[in-house]
Amino acid sequence: MPETTRERLMSGGWKELEFGPFRDAVTIHWIRPFEGDQPGVALLKYEPGASVPRHRHEGLETILVLDGVQSDETGDYISGSYIVNAPGSEHSVWSDTGCVVLIQWDRPVKILEDEIALT
């Protein structure tokens, strides 16, 4: 996507974008993929009932909910909510109704379910 404007994102322009696989029932549209030590910026689209398993943030993560409701162990976040997850924090994420979020990660997250499977 060329430079994304706030107006385009907030007015639903994301509906015209192509999303690819990310996790089961969660798709991704990269705005700026991770490159070297630069953060990654993307849109994540959760289908109703989709979830991301418990994970640890290796760097700062910021999320803006553009549509729907995203939830984690601390609450439900409606459209317009801004969420900050500190480095070292852990949670799982889901959306009962489906949602689209703008997300920026300083570093990729570590899925903890994968660590459990290896032990």
Nearest-angstrom CA–CA distance, 69 and 97: 7
- pLDDT value, residue 42: 94
Lowest mean pLDDT of 35-39, 45-49, 69-73, 87-91, name the range: 35-39
- pLDDT value, residue 9: 73
Predicted structure pTM score: 0.86
Nearest-angstrom CA–CA distance, 2 and 50: 28
Q: Which two tokens stand for residue 4?
A: 């994304």
Q: Do 49 and 25 touch, CB atoms closer than 8 A?
A: yes
- pLDDT value, residue 117: 43
- pLDDT value, residue 119: 38
Q: Do 93 and 109 touch, CB atoms closer than 8 A?
A: no
Q: Do 36 and 60 touch, CB atoms closer than 8 A?
A: no
Q: In the chain, how long is the greatest CA-to-CA distance?
A: 46
Residue 34, phi then psi, degrees to nearest 5: -55, 135
